[in-house]
Structure 1
Amino acid sequence: MAATFGLDDDSVVVVIGSGAGGGTLANELAQKGIKVVCLEAGGRHEIQDFVNDEWKSFSQISWLDKRTTSGSWRVAKDFPNLPAWIVKAVGGSTVHWAGASLRFQEHEFRTRTVYGALEGANLLDWPITLAELDPYYDKAERKMGTTGTNGIPRLPGNNNYKVMAAGAKRLGYTDFHTGNMSINSKPRDGRGSCQQIGFCFQGCKSGAKWSTLYSEIPKGEATGKLEVRPNSQVLKIEHDARGRVNAVLYADASGAMQRQKARVVAVAGNSIESPRLLLNSASTMFPDGLANSSGQVGRNYMRHMTGSVYGVFDKPVHMYRGTTMAGIIRDESRFDASRGFVGGYEMETLSLGVPFMAAFLDPGAWGRDFSSALDAYDHMAGMWLVGEDMARETNRVTLHATEKDKFGQPIPDVHFDDHPNDVAMRDHAFGRGAAVYDAVGASRTIRTPPYPSTHNLGTNRMSANARDGVVDKWGQAHDVPNLFVSDGSQFTSGASENPTLTIVALAIRQAEHIAGRMGRNEI
């Protein structure tokens, strides 16, 4: 039976958000005997509620609250009110994620040192190293059941992967396989193995994919130390006269305002909502937003260099059958400035259903060129390109000057301009992705522009020096000792890898730190 804690219980840790960061942190703290209230803006949809239908699922679980966009990025033109494709539900975007679980590389923690002072970028080394995070990557991979680690076999390759692998081999690539995926390849942790259904983005109907919804949160609730409150939209974090956070104001399912007292607050609302909340929590002591003495809250927004390539073949491929992203080529994720850019990128299998393909293939396109591509849908193979974009101070989340949400809070505006390094990397990736398919006889390749961001990073970044970021190496706010950031917004750089494994590793590490400091009465 899940616990219930009083609104006036000032001994609880309040975790805002229940995704990879928040859901993991909440469980880890509960396992250590610490009382946790997890506030989640969305509803609770269990496995049986998921629907293997793209548009129905999109409206069921996606974060669809209005946002605005600005900047020269293609998303601002195509999807001006949907900069991000993430989840508003218990489990956060671990409901929707594809399962790819990759460790960052050593140089990606030291971008300022390795890449140098890149003009127009705001690069900074992480205050932690790969060596410091490796033990927590180990714990995260064991927790999540990541294939290719701990003796767990990789998933089988579907046709989409077989086409990619054949092309990779012909191009001389050597580092390709079905990925490190936190999707069970054999029964594990009370959950069955992948059934190859193919609707990974719509919530896993078999429960084979790791998600905090059914992997972490129920374990935390079973301790009697975790209470999850769905449909609870946090509006403001309050603090006392010393500048320490002491309560969280939120709207419950009925829209009524509630005030939960807290000993510690951890913010894990994704890289758009987390800075928005800190900015909306401004006070006389923090006039520019909570924890924002550096002026860095909301800045350095990263969303990964992305794009897709599809190849059309004479024979059917049926790319939509099987695990969506169980296939990767890693050779281009190295650091090699001779290619004309710093950082690297991954090529990962991707399949969208016909409805999403029509929406994302080339937004705004019409005519025979577009329709003939859709006609060839079952003859297509597809890949997603994901690479390290450069942190820029001007890429940022700000509060809209006039537009408010239904609770009267300013909505976020997401501004993004590609750095020239991002553009050079995308061009290279498009070329190499097309070459993979050309090498095995594609009759046509299609380059698809970026769609709404699924990897939202930065905006509350880690820094050794308080003037350069928002939180320290533990995700603890430089300005507020009992306030933490626990999601991808704490990332100092984006790296070329999918971020979830790193978010989980940091949450496990952070839980140890918070528990230790609480035990010593330091927070």
Structure 2
Amino acid sequence: MVDAQQSDDDVDVLIVGAGASGGVAALELASRGLKVVCLEQGDWNLPDDFTAGKPEWELTRLKQWNASPNVRQNPADYPVDSTDSPVEPLMFNGVGGSTIMFSGHWVRAMPSDFRVRTLDGVAEDWPFTYDDLRPFYDEVTHHIGASGLEGDPAYPDSHTFPLPALPIGRYGLVAARGMDRLGWHWWPAPNAIASRKYKNQEGCMRYGACESGCPVGAKASTDITHWRDAVALGVRLVTGARVQRLTVDGAGLVTGAEYFDREGALRHQPARVTVMAANGVGTPRLLLNSTSSLFPDGLANSSGLVGKRLMTHPYASVYGTYEDDLESWLGPAGQALQSLEFYETDTDRGFVRGAKWNLMPTGGPLAQTLWEPGEPWRDRFGPAFHAGLHRTFGRRSEWGITTEDLPDESNTVSLDPDVNDSDGIPAAKLHYVIGENCQRMLKFHVDRAVEAHQAAGAIAVDPIPVVRHSAWHLLGTATMGDDPAMSVVDQWGRAHDVPNLFIIDGSVFVTSTGVNPTATIMAIALRSMRHLADTRASIPTPL
């Protein structure tokens, strides 16, 4: 092995990953006076890098701004073998991580999500409750400038938002009337998108291109909401730094991380404490690659659960086409409405747990003309092209269904034995199957969403039972819990096996919940890092 060049050796905390949880960690720890370094394999993005508002924006979403690293293939990306998975993993490497490209759905988990073993006899209960996390939800929501409407009756508490809800638009009004006819819950959807100027964020200009970056800085990506302030407080953010593995000493403490810099030189960044924030694929990948005589099966893996219990929220889309122009090309995208009508368990449906619905716009003209193999191409091209575009452009809306995915140890992230990234580090390989409970859930919810469109007056309804390019939510692969034999980290994200290693991204989820996870990820990260700062004197360190 090539000797690694040593970096700054007087560092309190090293963070791996500058996304949602890494941004929270950096700002919290720096504000508490700790010296922090973060290694991020991507780079900063400038507003002009995003193509919304430019003629080519829909084309760039197919390649440069595609959500899949396997399609995008940027220098900062690493390959993920998804041939053994019905869904494609979606993520982004760069300052802000996947918040650069997420839709901005800002949804809290429900109290029942933390007690699924007690309530439904499946999976495990979380080691804390909704009430334990609630103040951190509140703090993060007001920090990032979420837009929403107080008083959603689906929740037991009336939590507030710093900004008013974004307009639900014509397509939202039509969908809401349909839900009212059925007597089903809906609510103006909360979004991590500023409805007017807030701190470092500008007000939303409604481009509708949230999933390929926000050129006006309205979306609450952590490069805007956390990293600028963290750097101003002294955090050293090293971009173009691809971590290869974490290093340990003879006592089994993490001593830091080896990484390749932009020139391909191998470096070592030492630190007293290391925090993993590399998402539900990246974190287990690095832990499994960090083998040693003390940790032959990978770091923090005495339970054998590192990389296991992968959950992705299998996603269904149900499109309704309407006679009238709904302006459904207009943003944000972003959600206009959300529904939790069928969120809680009802065993008469034939499954446990539930799903959250989100009403989405359907994009620009190119999105209406894309063809997938297996579809009848004559319905899209030739003489039918203009008629088809007129029928759908601005006249379609989507009920998207985020289904709860139960943990299964056979769903895994492992090291690919045959594929490496451009620095020679083993790629990640997924093995993932949608469970029977989730399959029944998907069918039930798709059928109900069809009814919702019909009640709203749709002239055609087109369901997609499972969307392949939909696995934004990569969860559960380093689960938390009180029992070291049944979990990787404790309730604070601290590894049972390695007392100066913390994990704070979506990999610590015990269950997936049925909602978009970013609000929960960031609330957990804030809770964990505040605990780290409060207890730092008692954490054993190698320095």
Provide TM-score, normalisation by structure 1. 0.92
2:194 alignment counterpart = 184
Amino acid at match of 1:145: G
Matched-pair contact (CA < 8 Å) for 2:256–2:270 = yes
Q: Select 2:90's aligned residue among 85, 91, 103.
A: 85
What SS is found at the alignment partner of 2:223? coil
1:156 aligns with 2:172: no
What SS is found at the alignment partner of 1:298? coil
State the alpha-carbon separation in 2 of the partners of residues 334 and 369 from structure 1.
39
Range with greater deviation from structure 2 (311-320 or 419-428): 311-320
Aligned-pair CA distance for 1:413 = 0.8
Aligned-pair CA distance for 1:375 = 5.7
2:527 alignment counterpart = 509
Matched-pair contact (CA < 8 Å) for 1:91–1:212 = yes
2:489 alignment counterpart = 471
2:156 alignment counterpart = none
Q: Deviations over 1:25-51 (max 9, x none)?
A: 111111111111111111211223211
Amino acid at match of 2:13: V
State the alpha-carbon separation in 2 of the partners of residues 208 and 447 from structure 1.
31
Aligned-pair CA distance for 1:338 = 1.9
1:305 aligns with 2:314: yes
Q: Select 1:254's aligned residue among 257, 260, 263.
A: 263
Aligned-pair CA distance for 1:326 = 2.6
State the alpha-carbon separation in 1 of the partners of residues 539 and 286 from structure 2.
27
Matched-pair contact (CA < 8 Å) for 1:194–1:206 = yes
Aligned-pair CA distance for 1:476 = 0.7
Aligned-pair Cα RMSD in Å: 1.9
Matched-pair contact (CA < 8 Å) for 2:319–2:461 = yes
Provide TM-score, normalisation by structure 2. 0.88
Q: Select 1:110's aligned residue among 115, 137, 144.
A: 115
2:38 alignment counterpart = 38
2:16 alignment counterpart = 16
Q: Select 2:206's aligned residue among 184, 196, 201.
A: 196
Gaps of 5+ in 1: 1-5, 76-82, 118-122
State the alpha-carbon separation in 2 of the partners of residues 308 and 61 from structure 1.
18
Counterparts of 1:59-78 in structure 2, within 5 Å, are 59-60=64-65, 62=67, 63=69, 64=73, 65-71=78-84, 73-75=85-87
Aligned-pair CA distance for 1:468 = 0.9
Aligned-pair CA distance for 1:309 = 0.7
What SS is found at the alignment partner of 1:484? strand
Aligned residues: 502
Matched-pair contact (CA < 8 Å) for 2:322–2:458 = yes
State the alpha-carbon separation in 2 of the partners of residues 98 and 416 from structure 1.
24
State the alpha-carbon separation in 1 of the partners of residues 377 and 66 from structure 2.
32
What SS is found at the alignment partner of 2:481? coil
Amino acid at match of 1:461: T
State the alpha-carbon separation in 1 of the partners of residues 429 and 369 from structure 2.
27
1:346 aligns with 2:356: yes
What SS is found at the alignment partner of 1:331? coil
Amino acid at match of 2:17: G
Amino acid at match of 1:343: R
2:131 alignment counterpart = 131
Amino acid at match of 2:496: H
1:431 alignment counterpart = 447
Q: Deviations over 1:133-160 (max 9, x none)?
A: 1111111111122223245321111223
Q: Deviations over 1:277-300 (max 9, x none)?
A: 000001111000000000000000
1:78 alignment counterpart = none
1:207 aligns with 2:220: no
Q: Deviations over 1:287-334 (max 9, x none)?
A: 000000000000000001311010111222231212112321221122
Which stretches of structure 1, 4 residues or more, deviate above 6 A after TM superposition? Answer: none
State the alpha-carbon separation in 2 of the partners of residues 454 and 98 from structure 1.
10
Counterparts of 1:217-366 in structure 2, within 5 Å, are 217-224=227-234, 226-324=235-333, 325-350=335-360, 351-355=362-366, 364-366=374-376
Q: Deviations over 1:38-71 (max 9, x none)?
A: 1111121122321121442552575343221244
What SS is found at the alignment partner of 1:332? coil
1:382 aligns with 2:419: no
Gaps of 5+ in 2: 1-5, 150-159
Amino acid at match of 1:439: A
State the alpha-carbon separation in 1 of the partners of residues 342 and 270 from structure 2.
48
2:152 alignment counterpart = none
Q: Select 2:498's aligned residue among 480, 487, 491.
A: 480
Range with greater deviation from structure 2 (335-344 or 280-289): 335-344
Range with greater deviation from structure 2 (139-148 or 302-311): 139-148
State the alpha-carbon separation in 1 of the partners of residues 110 and 232 from structure 2.
36
1:140 aligns with 2:145: no
State the alpha-carbon separation in 2 of the partners of residues 435 and 472 from structure 1.
43
Matched-pair contact (CA < 8 Å) for 2:245–2:290 = yes
Matched-pair contact (CA < 8 Å) for 2:86–2:433 = no
Matched-pair contact (CA < 8 Å) for 2:252–2:294 = yes
Matched-pair contact (CA < 8 Å) for 1:61–1:88 = no
Matched-pair contact (CA < 8 Å) for 1:161–1:327 = yes
1:440 alignment counterpart = 456
Matched-pair contact (CA < 8 Å) for 1:349–1:382 = yes
Aligned-pair CA distance for 1:446 = 0.8
What SS is found at the alignment partner of 1:314? coil
What SS is found at the alignment partner of 2:173? helix
1:489 alignment counterpart = 507
Q: Select 2:60's aligned residue among 26, 49, 56.
A: 56
Q: Deviations over 1:151-192 (max 9, x none)?
A: 53211112232222122111111x312212121122211422
Amino acid at match of 1:246: T
Amino acid at match of 2:521: I
State the alpha-carbon separation in 1 of the partners of residues 163 and 295 from structure 2.
48
Would the alpha carbon gap of residues 434 and 300 (structure 1) be closer, same or farther in structure 2, given more than 3 Å must change? same
State the alpha-carbon separation in 2 of the partners of residues 227 and 288 from structure 1.
32
Percent sequence identity over aligned pairs: 34
